[in-house]
Chain A
Amino acid sequence: MPHRTFFAFILPSILAMALFITLPIISVVVQSLFVQHEAVLITVENCTPFGCETQTRVDTEAMAKLQEERPLGQFAGFANYFNRNHLALSEIASILSDNQGIGDIVGRVFNLPFYKALSFTLVYCFLVTPLAMALGFAIALAVNTLPRLLKGPTIFVSILPMIITPLVGSLILAWMFNPTGILGASLQSLTGDPTLSLRASPVLTWIVLLAYGVWTNGPFSFVVFYAGLQTVPQDTVESAKIDGASRWEVIRHVIIPHLAPLATFVALVQLMDNFRVFEPIVGFSAEANATSLSWLVFNDLVGQDSQLFGSAAATSVITIIGVLMLVAPVLRRTWRDFTQKAV
């Protein structure tokens, strides 16, 4: 296809991505170098019949003018990245120099907002992805043995947790895990602990969030693996069985190798999606016990009158760097495939 025709066809699409994905990324990087203006304070004297008193308050007029002139705020360099709410370099240094052993270090680092979010994001990403894939694979194997009549309805039900709006799905589960909801109440009576609740127990919060992740991500692996199972060469399965392979050996040596390319695809997509985990934190109101990088950005932006654009942007840039590190191996492999094909 000649260059001109190609670009005529793809222009709207490129334009949309350039304007609303590339530019925002640049905008985020620029914004991350600024902090909001400091409040302009004025002192006014209030005189009443009972005497005069001086009052210090924010000069809204001057603030508005300042905002108008320099909407980005003050230039701050990399201060946003290093302050307590982000990489917290000086806090880390002081923790490392003065502590009472490993447990103390971990506990105090975990209290820094950025590291708290980072640790949950990484745990969620790297635990939910393999667990959901395992669940999906198990469901796929099981559904594959069902009689045809039952397959359709089972697949229908299985897709629901994946297709559901993430916020809605997490709310539904959050209500059930509420101490007055069916699962929360059952948990309390099972453990015999009447104070057990998501709010009170960080461990329970993490477990429930991870369980939600597996519940909502499993079906995707299921559908892909189920489709893959339909293309397993039956000859190989037959001959493996004639050679005396047990059921498990057939799965281990025939089916799993056949599905391996699919598994890398699923793993990539799921890692990308799980890295941006966000809605469950809102849905479960889990922010006291577990936060994520995306949630940090959201939290900085959501304040009605004091949106911390600089702070949100700094977290965003760090998140984007994390995403790039996550997809780098895939990009390298794709690049290698491409150059090999070209040769």
Chain B
Amino acid sequence: MSVNILAGEVGVVAATALRELAARAVGVLPVAEYADGAPLPWSVVGDGGWDLVGVPGDGAASLRDLVEIAQTWGEFCVPLPLLPTILAKRWSAAARERTGPVTVSVAAPGRPPGRFLAPYLGEPEVVLALGLGAGEDRVAPPAVAARDGFAPTLRLAETDLRSAFSAEAAREQAVVWAAEAVGCARRTLRDSVGYARDRHQFDRPIGSFQAVKHRLARAHEQVELAESALLWAVAAPADTARPVRFAVDSSIGVLQTAIQVHGGMGFTWEMGIHFFLRHVLTLRELVRGVGL
């Protein structure tokens, strides 16, 4: 059994269950139909206790397990603060006392001074964890200074409150966000392959043309290497930033390819690839904000 490469039982079980929940809620829907809505109520994941999967103790998920969960979750781009809640409840006792969702805020390079970024802040029931292994361990009610509507599936808000992270909590948060990005990339690659199989031009599926096929092959290479970068990030506490950045940047590359492969549909709002792209571009901001 290879400890650092294969996910443990907790990770596999949780990822499988969450895949089923998300697939039941949004499986056949185009992302454009649910990006602005609430396709999955919090109670569905909360009642199952999936937000507590990382809480320290016997049978807690390892970081590798969280990567498995985040990659799976990322494939659906569901607007629900599951991943920040898992991290907050892993690192904060005050967050664990809440039954509902909890988010975190990180630095916001390039924004007004004193402003911090928090995904899903201002969404129903969401509170902000202020101490993740560092600082004062308490939660704060949502204090939204401004909304950032760029990524509808991440519901980003600016706030004046900053979550304090221990070095390890920050590292884990960055790895989990990177894993979510890789999940987005894997999903859009799969959609792009499906589109290239169905879409015909010159009486042939466009995926049979090498110009298109090789682009998708390169996207597959990027997804594979991005996933390997996550394994590296998990295993190398002193060297996490490089693989995390690689994973996120590669995922953005895959999203760009997906738009190109979808041709004239690729840059339409309704096709919806842009929701994944906006999601991953925003994850990159969050990863930078948490210090990696």
A-B interaction = no
Residues of A within 8 A of B (CB): none
Residues of B within 8 A of A (CB): none
